[in-house]
Structure formats: C-alpha cells, structure tokens
Amino acid sequence: MINRSTLKTALTAAILLMSLSTVALANEDVFDQPIEPFSTLECARCHEQVFTDLRDFGGAHKMVCRDCHDTFHNFKRGLTLDERLPSCEGCHEQPHGDDEAMLDCLNCHSNAHAPVASLNIDHLEPLCASCHNGPAEQLAQPSSHADMSCNECHHEQHGYLPTCIECHDEPHSIFENSASCMQCHPVHNVSIMLYSDEIPNQPCAGCHSEAFDKLEKGHLAHSELNCTFCHANEHGNVPSCEECHNTPHNPEMLAEFDQCSDCHGSPHDLLPGE
Ligand code: HEC
Ligand code: HEC
Ligand code: HEC
Ligand code: HEC
Ligand code: HEC
Ligand code: HEC
Ligand code: HEC
Ligand code: HEC
Ligand code: HEC
Ligand code: HEC
Ligand code: HEC
Ligand code: HEC
C-alpha cells in the first residue's frame, strides 16, 4: 500500500537521480566548452547600481562593461585599485585643456557611469566663466543681478535654465514668459534695456497703450515704423523730429509756430497736414 511517506521517499529518490544525471551530463560537456566572458547582464548581477546608473543616466557611456573595463577584480594581482580602473584621459585625453583645475575629471563628472547627469554644480561653480565667458562678463557689469552667483539661478543641475517668474512673480503681468522678458531685459545685465530694432511694438503696448493705439490707428507713414526705430537704443530716449527730417519746411514759416505738433499732432498718429 502506498502511503504519504513512501510517496515522498520515492519522489525524493527520483529527483536525486534526475539531478545526478544532469550533473553527469554537464560534467561531460563543461571542459569541452569555451569560457565565455561575463556578459554585461552577468556583471550587473553583482554591480546592479552601476548597471542602473548606466541604463538611466549613462548617456554616451551606455556601453557594455568590457568596452571600458578590461582589467578588474584581482586577476592581475599586485595592481592598485587605480591601476585596475580605466582612466578618463586614456580615452578622452584633455578635452577642456590642460589647466590644472580641468584635469580632475571626477571632481565635476562625479560618476563615471553617468558622466553628464552627475555633473556636480557646486564643484563647477568657480569654473563657470572658463567655459561661459559671455554671461560672466555681462554679469560683471553693475546691475541688480550682479551680486548673484550663477548657481542661484542655474540651480539643481548643470544646464538648468530658470524662468524669470521663478523670482519675479510677473512684475508686468502682460508678459508671459522669460523669452518675452528678455526682449527688453538681457538677463545677465538687467541694468541696460536691450533696445534692438527687433523688439516688436506689442511688448511696449503693455505699459504705453495710448501711444500704441494711436500708432496702430494712424494711417500715415509713421504707422509702418517700430517704436524702437524712433525710440532707439535706450528706454526713454525721445528723438526730435529734426533728427530724421532736418528742416522740412521753409524756416520762416516754422519760426511762426512753437512746434511741429501744432500742425502734425502727435508723432504717433500724425494728423494729416492741413
Ligand atoms: C564608458 C566606460 C565605462 C563603462 C561602459 C563602464 N564603466 Fe565602470 N568605470 C569606468 C571608469 C572610468 C571607472 C573609474 C571611476 C573612478 O576612478 O572612480 C569605473 C569604475 C567602476 C567600478 C568601481 C567604482 C564604482 O563605481 O563602484 C565598478 C565596480 C565598475 N566600474 C563596474 C562597471 C560595470 C559592472 C559596468 C557595466 C555594467 C561598467 N562598469 C561599465 C568606466 C566605465
Ligand atoms: C559575483 C559577483 C561579481 C560579478 C559577476 C562581477 N563582479 Fe566586479 N566586483 C565584485 C566584487 C565583490 C568587487 C569588489 C567590490 C569592492 O571592493 O567593493 C568587484 C569589483 C569590481 C571592480 C572594481 C575594481 C576592482 O578590480 O576591484 C570593477 C571595475 C568590476 N568589479 C567590474 C566588473 C565587471 C566589468 C564585471 C563583468 C564583466 C564584474 N565586475 C562582474 C563582484 C562581481
Ligand atoms: C574606454 C573609453 C572611455 C573611458 C575610459 C571614458 N570614456 Fe567617456 N566616452 C567614451 C566614448 C566612446 C564616448 C562617446 C563618444 C564621445 O563623446 O567621445 C564618451 C563620452 C563621454 C562624455 C559625453 C557623454 C554624453 O552623454 O554626451 C563625457 C562627459 C565623458 N565621456 C566623460 C568621461 C569621464 C569623466 C571619464 C572618466 C571617469 C570617461 N569619460 C571615461 C569613452 C570613454
Ligand atoms: C570643472 C568641471 C569639469 C572638469 C574638471 C572636467 N569636466 Fe568634462 N565637462 C564639464 C562640463 C560642464 C561639460 C559639458 C557637459 C554638457 O555638455 O552638458 C563637460 C563635457 C565633457 C565631455 C563631452 C563634451 C566634450 O567636450 O567632448 C567630455 C568627453 C568630458 N567632459 C570629459 C572630461 C575629462 C576626460 C575630464 C578630465 C580630464 C573632464 N571632462 C574634466 C565639466 C568638467
Ligand atoms: C568645462 C566647460 C563647462 C563648465 C565648467 C561649465 N559649463 Fe555650462 N555648458 C558647457 C557645455 C559644453 C554646454 C552645452 C552647450 C550647448 O548645449 O550649447 C553647457 C551648457 C550650459 C547651460 C545651458 C545652455 C543652453 O543654452 O541650454 C547653462 C545654463 C550652463 N551651461 C551654465 C553653467 C554654469 C552656471 C556653470 C558653472 C556652475 C557651468 N555652466 C560650467 C560647458 C561648461
Ligand atoms: C538672475 C539669474 C541668473 C544669473 C545670476 C545667471 N544666469 Fe545665466 N541665465 C539666466 C536665464 C533666465 C537664462 C536664459 C533662460 C532662457 O533662455 O530661457 C540664462 C542663460 C544662460 C546661458 C545660456 C544662454 C547664453 O546666454 O549663453 C548660459 C550659458 C548661462 N546662463 C550661464 C550663466 C553663468 C556662467 C552665470 C554666472 C556667471 C549665469 N548664467 C548667471 C539666469 C541667470
Ligand atoms: C533666482 C532669482 C532671479 C531670477 C531667476 C531672475 N531674477 Fe531678476 N532679480 C532678482 C533679484 C534678487 C533682483 C534684485 C532685487 C529686486 O529688484 O527684486 C532682481 C532684479 C531684477 C531687475 C531690476 C533691475 C534694476 O536695475 O532695478 C530686473 C529688470 C530683473 N531682475 C529682470 C529679470 C529677468 C528679465 C529675469 C529672467 C530673464 C530675471 N530677472 C530672473 C532675482 C532673480
Ligand atoms: C517691452 C519691454 C519690457 C518687457 C518685455 C519686460 N519689461 Fe520689465 N521693465 C521694462 C521697463 C521699461 C521697466 C522700467 C519701468 C519703470 O521705470 O518703472 C521695467 C522694470 C522691470 C523690473 C524692475 C521694476 C519692477 O517692476 O519691479 C523688473 C523686476 C522687471 N521689469 C522684470 C520683468 C520681467 C520678469 C519681465 C517678463 C515677465 C519683464 N520685465 C518684461 C520693460 C520691459
Ligand atoms: C514695464 C512698463 C514699461 C514698458 C514695458 C515700457 N515702458 Fe516706456 N516707460 C515706462 C515708464 C514707467 C516710463 C516713465 C519713466 C520715467 O519717466 O523715467 C517710461 C518712459 C518711456 C519714454 C519716455 C517718455 C518721456 O516722456 O520721457 C519712452 C519714449 C518710452 N517709455 C518708450 C518705450 C518703448 C518704445 C517701449 C517698448 C520697447 C517701452 N517704453 C516699454 C514703462 C514702460
Ligand atoms: C516716428 C517715430 C516714432 C515712433 C514710431 C514712435 N514714437 Fe513715441 N515718440 C516719438 C516722438 C518724436 C516723441 C516726442 C513727442 C513730443 O515730444 O511731443 C514720442 C513720444 C513718446 C512717449 C512720451 C510721450 C507720450 O506721447 O506718451 C512715449 C511713451 C512714446 N513715445 C512711446 C512710443 C511707443 C510705445 C511707440 C510704439 C507703439 C512709439 N512711441 C512709436 C516718436 C515716435
Ligand atoms: C527716427 C526717425 C523719425 C523721427 C524722429 C520722426 N520721423 Fe517722421 N518720418 C520718418 C520716416 C522714416 C517717415 C516715412 C518716410 C519719409 O517720409 O521720410 C516719416 C514720415 C513723416 C511724415 C510724412 C507722413 C506721410 O505719410 O506722408 C510726417 C508728416 C512726419 N514724418 C512728421 C514727423 C514729425 C512731426 C516728427 C516729430 C514729432 C517726426 N516725423 C519724427 C521718420 C521719423
Ligand atoms: C504750419 C503747419 C506745419 C508745421 C508747423 C509743420 N508742418 Fe510739416 N507739413 C505741413 C503740411 C501742410 C505738409 C504738407 C502735407 C502734404 O504735402 O500732404 C507738411 C509735410 C511734412 C512732411 C512730409 C514732407 C514730404 O515731403 O512728404 C514732413 C516730414 C514734415 N511736414 C515734417 C515737419 C516737421 C519735422 C515739422 C517741425 C519742424 C513740421 N513738419 C512743421 C504743415 C506743417
């Protein structure tokens, strides 16, 4: 009669037999087989963190382990850890020049397996200017932004671009985004107003709706012009009519009138001459 315990014994014996024969089979083959190097996935079993760093943040370093590591573990005894690890310069030489501060690669690229994502902005800070001299030179000019460090605005990670509204809570609510703010305020030197001819009339309208409306409704030649064509270079600059028109009329006739506007009205809507 078959009871529980005999069944169990039989099963155990069967399993034992099966595994022995597997071992025997494997034993026959194993020394005939070539030794395959660990695949990247096999390395990852023990070095999971390295694997996930590469996978998620590796960027151009997302390569198989052995592309970079040929000497590791203790296979070559007597080597120091440094000698067992690949060196950045071995593959990249000195991409940022030979300035002392630029040679300590891991000081900035703090994780070899996430070389860009791991850029340490605190360690970068003293060296921003060596790669971005434009912003640094502008920021050296006196302005209310001049006392700020680069990282106060470019926080979190290298390359982060802040919005103006992060700090300014829409001072003139008509402008929606940083790009529109910067049409007038160059961010690294807010003491000057960037008055290129390229600023369209719309942003000026936010604060000068009267002038804008007149210019829009006017039907003479001034209505074709940009505000900044006349109010050039600097905010608040007011040109005289003569700057552009010299002496358009007989000086004797002009002498009888105080100003051009007596006949032409506002420069923004130019009453037709009578
Ligand atoms: C693009 C080249 C590159 C690739 C690909 C790469 N490594 Fe590395 N790895 C390096 C460099 C360079 C160092 C040395 C960093 C240092 O000096 O601290 C390093 C260091 C290490 C270290 C020791 C330091 C640490 O971070 O723990 C281990 C372990 C390691 N790598 C494992 C791996 C494994 C596993 C893989 C594949 C999943 C891999 N690496 C892929 C370049 C690479
Ligand atoms: C069975 C687990 C295991 C596997 C698989 C494994 N490693 Fe390691 N590895 C270790 C241990 C343990 C260390 C020593 C870690 C320490 O010192 O903190 C180490 C250290 C390292 C180091 C640091 C340098 C050194 O020589 O100590 C590198 C680089 C490295 N392994 C790369 C690899 C690569 C590449 C693979 C795959 C080809 C791999 N490992 C597979 C366990 C493993
Ligand atoms: C075995 C060669 C090798 C080693 C060692 C190596 N790299 Fe690279 N690295 C590459 C290759 C290949 C690329 C992709 C092509 C390129 O940009 O040159 C790359 C790209 C990069 C990039 C650009 C990454 C991106 O996503 O755009 C950085 C940054 C970088 N490496 C930094 C380092 C640093 C720092 C070290 C040392 C910790 C290092 N590399 C070690 C081979 C290597
Ligand atoms: C002062 C900080 C700093 C140091 C030190 C530094 N890097 Fe960089 N590296 C950067 C920054 C910032 C970038 C730009 C990353 C980006 O494109 O977003 C960069 C980009 C790179 C790139 C990709 C672009 C390129 O110029 O080819 C490579 C490769 C690189 N570094 C390798 C190295 C190596 C190798 C060393 C050491 C010899 C090193 N870096 C030292 C900050 C540094
Ligand atoms: C080793 C050179 C290097 C250093 C040091 C460096 N950068 Fe960069 N930075 C770069 C490179 C290269 C880029 C990518 C340029 C690109 O994409 O036009 C970049 C991109 C940027 C960007 C994004 C630009 C854009 O138009 O999207 C900002 C912002 C920036 N860096 C700020 C900083 C600040 C702040 C520091 C100091 C804390 C700094 N960088 C240090 C090389 C450097
Ligand atoms: C008051 C905040 C602030 C400070 C301080 C600041 N930036 Fe910027 N930076 C910005 C803003 C805002 C932008 C533009 C964002 C956009 O285009 O949307 C910018 C753009 C940049 C850019 C990309 C465009 C360009 O002009 O090249 C770089 C590079 C940069 N900054 C580097 C720096 C460096 C280096 C410093 C320190 C010397 C610095 N910034 C200080 C706010 C700041
Ligand atoms: C990280 C915070 C921060 C960011 C981002 C920032 N600012 Fe400022 N800004 C300040 C501080 C602080 C002051 C000085 C105190 C004040 O006036 O509020 C200032 C002052 C100013 C002033 C006054 C200038 C003067 O001479 O009185 C202007 C204009 C200005 N910012 C424009 C901008 C613009 C435009 C941007 C985006 C392109 C920007 N800011 C982004 C912090 C910031
Ligand atoms: C069309 C040009 C123009 C645009 C666009 C513009 N501003 Fe201004 N901004 C000015 C002028 C002109 C003043 C000075 C007004 C005054 O003298 O009272 C000023 C003043 C400021 C001041 C200092 C006075 C205050 O109100 O606190 C800050 C800060 C400022 N702007 C930030 C911004 C920000 C942020 C944006 C985008 C949301 C922006 N500006 C868009 C022209 C502009
Ligand atoms: C944020 C609001 C704001 C914006 C935007 C703005 N202005 Fe002004 N503007 C003012 C203020 C406030 C004054 C008066 C300041 C003073 O008297 O110094 C002024 C003065 C002027 C004056 C001088 C008027 C006089 O009687 O002296 C001119 C011209 C002028 N702005 C043109 C422009 C133009 C052109 C633009 C667009 C490129 C513009 N403004 C954008 C707020 C603004
Ligand atoms: C054809 C040249 C020209 C154009 C275009 C122009 N202006 Fe003027 N603007 C002037 C002149 C000239 C004055 C001085 C008028 C005076 O002294 O009576 C003036 C005066 C002003 C004043 C101060 C007096 C007032 O009328 O409020 C402001 C503000 C102003 N302009 C804003 C603007 C804005 C905003 C635009 C664009 C929508 C603009 N202007 C387009 C020539 C121009
Ligand atoms: C920044 C230059 C500039 C200033 C300042 C300026 N104008 Fe003009 N004006 C022009 C241009 C450009 C035209 C169109 C081409 C032309 O007729 O020369 C024009 C045309 C005119 C016309 C002819 C309009 C038509 O459609 O027939 C009159 C009238 C005139 N301007 C009057 C004035 C008066 C009055 C002032 C001062 C309040 C003034 N302008 C200031 C540039 C200017
Ligand atoms: C007594 C009135 C009066 C005064 C003052 C006056 N203008 Fe005129 N202006 C006219 C008349 C009328 C015309 C002719 C309109 C026409 O031909 O259609 C004219 C035409 C113009 C034209 C267009 C000329 C052309 O060739 O098309 C310009 C530019 C002009 N004036 C500028 C000025 C300037 C600048 C002043 C001040 C220095 C001024 N005017 C003062 C009445 C006046």
One-letter amino acid of 125? E
- Beta carbons of 230 and 199 less than 8 angstroms apart: no
Distances (CA, A) of 151 to 39, 76, 94, 164, 171: 41, 44, 25, 14, 23
Q: What is the pLDDT of residues 168-182, one digit of tens each?
A: 987 776 777 777 788
Q: What is the tally of structural domains in the chain? A: 1
Domain hosting 257: range is 201-264
- Nearest ligand to the C-alpha atom of residue 91: 3
- Residue 234 lies inside a defined structural domain of this protein: yes
- Give the angle 61-66-67 at the CA atoms, nearest 5°: 50
**Residue 41 falls inside a structural domain:** no
Q: Is the CB of residue 172 below 6 angstroms from any atom belonging to ligand 9?
A: yes
The reply to whether 218 falls in a domain is yes
Please report the pLDDT score of residue 157 as a whole number.
Answer: 93
Pocket test for ligand 3, best of 53, 85, 92, 93 (most atoms within 8 A of CB): 92
Residue 59 CB contacts under 8 Å (≥ 6 apart), including other chains? 114, 115, 116, 117
At residue 66, the pLDDT reads: 95
Q: Would residue 173 count as lying in a domain?
A: no
The answer to whether residue 239 sits within a structural domain is: yes
Q: Which tokens belong to 261? A: 């506007």
Structure tokens at 14: 């069967």
pLDDT of residue 273: 45
- Angstrom CA distances, 147 to 135, 139, 172, 188, 193, stand at 13, 8, 23, 11, 19
**For residue 35, how many C-alpha atoms fall within 13 Å in the half-sphere facing its CB?**
2
Q: Rounded CA gap, 257 and 244, in Å?
A: 19
Report the share of the chain in percent with pLDDT over 70.
86
CA 245 / ligand 11 centre spacing (Å): 7
pLDDT by residue for the chain (274 residues), tens digit each? 455 655 455 545 545 444 544 454 556 788 899 998 899 999 999 999 999 999 999 999 999 999 999 888 876 678 888 888 999 999 999 999 999 999 999 999 999 999 999 999 999 998 999 999 999 999 999 899 999 999 999 999 999 999 998 999 877 767 777 777 888 888 999 888 777 777 888 888 888 999 999 999 888 889 999 999 999 888 888 999 999 998 889 989 988 998 899 999 899 988 764 3
Quick one: which of 64, 63, 81 has its CA closest to 72?
Answer: 81
- Among left, alpha and beta (phi > 0; psi -120 to 50; other), residue 73 is left
Residue 102's closest CA among 90, 94, 114? 94
Q: Give residue 207 CA to ligand 12 midpoint distance, Å.
A: 29
Residue at 224 is within a domain = yes
What is the per-residue pLDDT for 177?
76
Cβ atoms within 10 Å, residue 214: 18
Q: Is residue 106 part of a domain?
A: no
Q: Is residue 180 part of a domain?
A: no
**Which residue has its alpha carbon closest to ligand 6 atom 39?**
150
Q: pLDDT digit string (tens) for 182-237?
A: 888 889 998 887 777 778 888 888 889 999 999 998 888 899 999 999 998 888 88
The structure's pTM equals 0.85
Which ligand lies nearest to the CA atom of residue 265 in the structure? 11
